[in-house]
Structure 1
Amino acid sequence: MANPYSIGRDCRITVLWNGVRVDLRDVTSFMASQETQALRAHPLNGVPMEFNVPDGWRGSFQIARASSALDNLVAAIEAAYWNAGTVGSGTIYQYVSEPDGSTSTWEYTNVSIKLKNDPWQSDHMMHQTVQFFASTRVKVS
């Protein structure tokens, strides 16, 4: 019998930066949360009302460091800024294997990233965390 619920291993991600795939092995976690801007109305003749306007997505993912791919990406982003004043953007694709056997694909667009590293320690696995902001999340399939 198939698992009736989504579990962590049902998700995988792919990162594209300026249209080029960044090969990240061993993604160990992924999280994305919708951001909204609250707009409020206080009618003189009624109760207060609030509307939440979509305001992007903020999230993070972690990898067990198996290569310099993430460090190389961050170095290239930094070099592009200091050399030409440009800041590229990326796209994150999230693939979720649904309990019914289908696959949902989500596309996070206009992604900007920030890298955070765990400390290098003897006899410890090195993990890297990417914090990101995306303008939108669109359902592809």
Structure 2
Amino acid sequence: MGNPYSIGRDCQVVLLWNGVRIDMRDVVGFQAEQQVKQQRSDPLNSVPVEFNTPAGWRGQFQLDRGSAALDNLVAAIEAAFWNAGVIGSGTIYQYIAEADGSVSTYEFIGVALTLTNSGRYKAENIVTQTVSFFASQRNRI
């Protein structure tokens, strides 16, 4: 019997920035969490009512640096802003191989990136970089 649970190796992450695929060869970690805005009403004549409205997604991923692709992307984002006042956006695709053999695909759209850790360079150690992101929405496709 196969593994009935998702494990980390079941996930693949792809980043597109302004329609161009960024080669992130070795993504070693990915997490995302839904953001919500709590709505609440406290009527004088009834019990309180509370519900949540969607407010995007926040997350981060780590990759072992195998090329300058991510550093070059961040440099290009900064240059576009400082040279022309342009702020691009991206899309993240998350592919999950399910235990039943199917593949679930999630699309994070309207992505803004922050290179929160460009890596620690130390002899005989792999340089791991961390990117934080905000996405306006996540869709199942």
How many residue pairs were aligned?
140
AA matched with 2:14:
T
Q: Which residue of 1 aligns with 2:39?
A: 39
Q: Deviations over 1:32-81 (max 9, x none)?
A: 00000001010112221111010000000000001000000000000100
Task: Map residues 15-30 of structure 1 onto 2, 5 A cutoff.
Answer: 15-30=15-30
CA apart distance, 1:122? 1.8
Matched, 1:109 2:123: no
Alignment identity in percent?
A: 59
| Matched ranges for 1:30-109 at <5 A | 30-109=30-109
The RMSD of aligned alpha carbons is: 0.8
Shift of 1:119: 2.0
User: What whole-Å deviation, never above 9, does each CA across 1:57-110 have from its counterpart, x for those lacking one?
Assistant: 000000000100000000000010011000000000000001111000000000
What TM-score comes out, normalization by structure 1 length?
0.97
Structure 2 regions of 5+ residues with no counterpart? none
Offset, 1:130: 0.4
Match of 2:128 in 1: 127
Query: TM-score, length-normalised on structure 2?
Result: 0.97
Which residue in 2 is equivalent to 1:10?
Answer: 10
Segments of 4+ in structure 1 off by > 4 A?
A: none
CA distance in 1, matches of 2:23, 2:120: 22
Q: Render the CA deviation track for 1:110-139: whole Å, top value 9, x for unaligned.
A: 000000223211222100000000000000
Mapped partners of 1:57, 1:86: distance in 2: 23
| CA distance in structure 2 between the aligned counterparts of 1:93 and 1:100, rounded to whole angstroms | 20
CA distance in 1, matches of 2:62, 2:97: 19
